[in-house]
Structure 1
Amino acid sequence: MSSAPYRRIIRRETHSPRTTAVIIVVILLILGLAYAGTEIILAMLTRPALLLAPTDAGTSLAKLPTLQPVAGVIAAGVVLAILGLILIVLALTPGRLAKHEMVWDDRAVVVDNGVIAAAIANRICEQTGLSRDQVTVSVTHRTVQADLRPGGRLTLDEAAIRSVMDTELAGYQLTPKVSTRVRVDKRERVS
C-alpha cells in the first residue's frame, strides 16, 4: 500500500497527536503572561503588587547567581532543564497509539492491539486446549507476549506455541513487524 492518502490516513490513525501537551504549555504561557501583564499594570498605576513587583523580580533575577545556598539554585536549574528536555522530546518524537497496520489486499486497515491479542489468545487456546482464562496475550508496538498458566502437571512446548503465534501473525502481515515471546508458568496450582 504505497499511495499517499493511505499513508497519511494510517499515520493519523496509528500515531497520537501532541495536542494535550501543546494545550498545557500554551495555557501555562498565557497564565504566566497574564500575571506578568497584571503586575506591570499595577506597577504603572503605583498599586501594590499581587506577589512580586516587576522591579523586585528584576533585582532578584540579577542576584540569582550569588544567592545562597548554591545547591538550591542548581537544583532549580536542573528541574527547569529536565522540564525543557521533556518538552523537546514531546515535540520531536511521535506518539504511538495501541494500533497496527494490517495488509489486506489494497485497503488501509488499522487494527487495535487488543483485537490482535484476543485473536492470538484464541488461536493458542484452540491449539493447546487451555481455557481462555489460562492464556494472557499482550501486544505492544514491537512484541507480542503470551503468558500461559497451564496448572497441574500439563507441560507445554514453548517453541510450538511460538510457532502457532508466528503463523497467525504472518497471516496478518502487521506493520511494523512484531516479535513473539512465550512464558509458561510452571508452578502447579492448588484449587
Structure 2
Amino acid sequence: MSTPAYRRIVRRETHSPRTVATIVVAVLLILALLYAGVEIVLGLLAQPPLLVSPGDAAAWIVGLAGAQPAGAVIGGGVVVAVLGLVLLVLGVAPGRLPKHEMAVDGRAVVVDNGVVASSLAQRISEETGILRDDITVGVSHRSVDVTVRSGFGDPYEVAPIAAVVDAELERYALVPAVTPRVRVTSPPERRESR
C-alpha cells in the first residue's frame, strides 16, 4: 500500500461523514416541496387549501415586514441566519470521531480515545503505584487531561506523574499531537461521626 492509500484510510476512520445531516436536510426540503406542490395543485383545481393557499402565503411573506413588529422580524431573521450558518458549518467543516492516528512506520493504525485513556491510566498506575481507581484520564482531539485523586496523608507529586504521561504519549506518537495536563486533587474532608 502506498502513502496516499494510508492517508485515505486514516481519514475515513477518524472523520465522520455528514450523511445524517444531509439526509435530514434533504427530507425536510422534500417534504416542504411536496407540501407546496399539493397546495399549488389544490389551488389549480379550485379546491380549499390544506393550510394556506400559495397566493395567500406569498402575500403574507411580502407584507410580513410591515405588518409585524420590527423586533419579531429581526428575531426571525436572526434565527434563520443562525440555522443557515449551522448548516453551512456542517457542510464544510470536517466531523471528527473520537479517534487518533498512531504514527507507526509502514502501517495505518487508528486508536480510539477511550483506549488511549485506559492505557495511559494503567501505565500511570503501574509506574507510580497509585491505585487505578484514583486516576481519571480524558482524551480529546488536542489534549489529554489526567486527574489523580490523592489519598489521605501526603498528596502525590505532579512531576513524576507528568513524566510518565509525557513518556507514554511520546511512545504513542498520536497524530494530531495532544497536549497533556496533569492535576492532583486533594481528598474530600472526612466527616466526623457522632
**TM-score between both structures, scaled by the size of structure 2:** 0.94
Match of 1:52 in 2: 52
1:78 has 2:87 as partner: no
- What stretches of structure 1 of length at least 5 have no aligned partner? none
Tell me how far apart the structure 2 counterparts of residues 84 and 159 of structure 1 sit (CA, whole Å). 48
Tell me how far apart the structure 2 counterparts of residues 136 and 39 of structure 1 sit (CA, whole Å). 58
Change (3 A) 1:167 1:50: same
Give the partner amino acid of 1:42: L
Q: Share of identical aligned residues, percent?
A: 52
Match of 2:175 in 1: 175
Q: Secondary structure at the match of 1:182?
A: strand
CA drift of 1:128 comes to: 2.1
Q: Residues 4-26 of structure 1, C-alpha deviation per residue, up to 9 Å, x if partnerless? A: 00000000000001111101100
1:144-155 equivalent positions in 2, closer than 5 A: 144-155=144-155
Tell me how far apart the structure 1 counterparts of residues 91 and 20 of structure 2 sit (CA, whole Å). 12
- What stretches of structure 2 of length at least 5 have no aligned partner? none
**TM-score between both structures, scaled by the size of structure 1:** 0.96
1:100-111 equivalent positions in 2, closer than 5 A: 100-111=100-111
CA drift of 1:2 comes to: 7.2
1:20-35 equivalent positions in 2, closer than 5 A: 20-35=20-35
Q: Residues 27-52 of structure 1, C-alpha deviation per residue, up to 9 Å, x if partnerless? A: 00000000000000000110000011
Q: Secondary structure at the match of 2:133?
A: helix
Cα pair 1:152 1:189 within 8 Å, conserved:
no
CA drift of 1:154 comes to: 3.1
Deviates more, 1:111-120 or 1:64-73: 64-73
Change (3 A) 1:79 1:50: same
Tell me how far apart the structure 2 counterparts of residues 2 and 101 of structure 1 sit (CA, whole Å). 17
Q: Provide the aligned C-alpha RMSD in A.
A: 1.5
CA drift of 1:103 comes to: 1.6
Q: Residues 128-166 of structure 1, C-alpha deviation per residue, up to 9 Å, x if partnerless? A: 212211111000001111111122013211122111101
Matched positions, count = 191
Tell me how far apart the structure 2 counterparts of residues 186 and 12 of structure 1 sit (CA, whole Å). 42
